[in-house]
Structure 1
Amino acid sequence: MELSFKHQLGLVCVILLFPALCSCQEYYTKSRASFYGSPDGYGVSSGACGFGEYGRMVNNGIVAAVSGRLWRNGAACGTCYQVRCKIAEYCNANGANVVVTDYGEGDRTDFILSPRALEQLGRNNASEKLKKYGVLDIEYKRVPCRYPGNVLFHVKESSNNPGYFAVILLNVNGKYDVTAVELWRKERRQWEPLRRVYGAVFDFANPPEGELSLRFQVTYPKGYTDWVYPKTPIPAYWKPGATYDTKIQLN
């Protein structure tokens, strides 16, 4: 069947506009990266996200600190980026997929890489040669994370049942930013916001007694937001340092 000129024109417009409308369109951003050292090559447990030991070991220690323009008031914590360096003779074509666990500023850098992340950048064990550059020209793009298992609630060690509650969300797929966490007040029949203390740490002073029902807000790259409701509440006997399974996955 032959299309009319009007339909042909409409089809051309759709073809031309599709790349701009499609959320799967991805581009690399040019930048710079440096690196830090650690005794065993993993990340550090003192990162600004507040992840603790999880921040040192997640993604097999292939982690990074990001600068202010990527930090997004801590919403960058737990997100993932593909980082590729630009020295053809030393750099791996696929680069490294890093998890953000810290904040850090360098010499016009967007990333400060852990030793294991730097190893992933180089090909044929070229990380020692890359170190001599100090700062590397790179390109990067945001990518989904490959976390195993469900989203987790980790209760910060600074919490104290029942007087003070602080929590971190772990294993959130890196396509989203966690921009808010709220707690259901049964006696008031309303959701109340937790405060973002720093990084990925949210807290609530004097939480209600009994089990705690939380929800968290995710923001998509295009700015669209949605609330996610875990399938199970945090039990009334919650303890500092404990981790609780939400029974949900974000794909």
Structure 2
Amino acid sequence: MAEISIAIGCVAAAAWLMASGAMAQGGGWDTGTATFYGDMSGKETMQGACGYGDLFKQGYGLETAALSTALFNNGATCGACYEIQCYNDPQWCVPGSITITATNFCPPNPSKPSDNGGWCNPPRKHFDLSMPMFVKLVKDYHAGIIPVQFRRVPCVKKGGIKFEMKGNPDFIEVLVYNVGGAGDVTAVSVKGSNSGWIKMDRDWGDIWKTNQKLLGQSLSFQVTASDGRMVQSDDVAPANWNFGQNFEGKQF
């Protein structure tokens, strides 16, 4: 009987390890926690560490979240989409799930323990949701913090990838947003009508930068997502483009 029990235990452990591996690779549900910030207007969720600015104007609305350090990945996860559902808490959970886009960073609070106020401290996987999204998961928003299951899902966006021109004549910054598919961007290159392809560097969030002077040239962009797919948008910005303007390219 002891040998049988050991064998069953080994099988169970192997199954658990396989499931954990699948979660780590994005192949299944993972577990974490969620809170909310702001009120039902969602005005506190605007701007943020991904650089998206006015989330209503840019198409994200309130279906957004700030991610803890463990998920934010220094901004590399900006634009990724997650399905989230309240999990294993009958006192607060309601059926159903929400889908959000990562648009902000939830900073750690070293002065508080991770299980009592320091919800975004490493290594916690935590989502700080807009209030309208949080209340879709719970019976009462007074729940405060809830256990959740989450998984990466494809981002579904209207229209093409958007490019907002920033910077000044000495350098160019481009905010890349409204990215479908994997959602999170790993590389951006720009090509002027009088230049070859130039690899841009992530400045912060989803703002990409080059010191090349490209004013007066029409611009093309290559955007590569975390799944390795690349989409090229030729001559997105005309030669008379200017800072502050937005342009739309192709979509994944």
What TM-score comes out, normalization by structure 2 length? Answer: 0.75
Is this contact kept in 2: 1:62–1:97, CA < 8 A?
Answer: yes
Aligned partner (choices 216, 222, 238) of residue 235 of structure 1: 238
Is this contact kept in 1: 2:190–2:200, CA < 8 A?
Answer: yes
The residue aligned with 2:12 is none
Partner AA of 1:211 in structure 2: S
Partner AA of 2:154 in structure 1: P
Is this contact kept in 1: 2:92–2:143, CA < 8 A?
Answer: no
Superposed counterparts of 1:1-251, under 5 Å? 26-38=27-39, 40-42=41-43, 44-54=45-55, 58-86=59-87, 87-88=89-90, 90-105=92-107, 106-107=118-119, 108-122=124-138, 126=139, 129=140, 131-156=141-166, 159-160=167-168, 162-184=169-191, 190-209=196-215, 210-220=217-227, 225-246=228-249, 248-250=250-252
- Residues 187-217 of structure 1: CA deviation (Å, up to 9, x unaligned): 5x64222121111110122422411222122
Distance 1:26 1:116 in 2: 28
Give the direction of change, closer, same or farther, for the CA distance of 1:25–1:183 in structure 2 (3 Å limit): closer
Gapped runs of 5+ residues in structure 1?
A: 1-19
Give % identity: 28
Gapped runs of 5+ residues in structure 2?
A: 1-20, 108-117
- Residues 210-242 of structure 1: CA deviation (Å, up to 9, x unaligned): 11222122221xxxx243211433122222221
Partner AA of 1:164 in structure 2: F
Residue aligned with 1:70, SS:
helix
Is this contact kept in 2: 1:181–1:194, CA < 8 A?
Answer: yes
Displacement of 1:57 after TM fit? 6.6
Distance 1:71 1:56 in 2: 23
Distance 1:174 1:69 in 2: 22
Distance 2:230 2:158 in 1: 22
Total equivalences in the alignment: 214
Give the direction of change, closer, same or farther, for the CA distance of 1:208–1:83 in structure 2 (3 Å limit): same
Displacement of 1:169 after TM fit? 1.5
Is this contact kept in 1: 2:201–2:209, CA < 8 A?
Answer: yes
Partner AA of 2:136 in structure 1: Q
Give the direction of change, closer, same or farther, for the CA distance of 1:56–1:47 in structure 2 (3 Å limit): farther
Residue aligned with 1:241, SS:
coil
Residue aligned with 1:53, SS:
coil
Displacement of 1:42 after TM fit? 4.8
Residue aligned with 2:32, SS:
strand
Task: Give the root-mean-square deviation of aligned CA atoms.
Answer: 2.6
Distance 1:70 1:167 in 2: 23
Distance 2:202 2:90 in 1: 42
Give the direction of change, closer, same or farther, for the CA distance of 1:149–1:111 in structure 2 (3 Å limit): same
Partner AA of 1:99 in structure 2: T
Give the direction of change, closer, same or farther, for the CA distance of 1:58–1:121 in structure 2 (3 Å limit): farther
Displacement of 1:137 after TM fit? 0.7
- Residues 40-79 of structure 1: CA deviation (Å, up to 9, x unaligned): 1355223000000037874431210011222123121111
Distance 2:58 2:33 in 1: 24
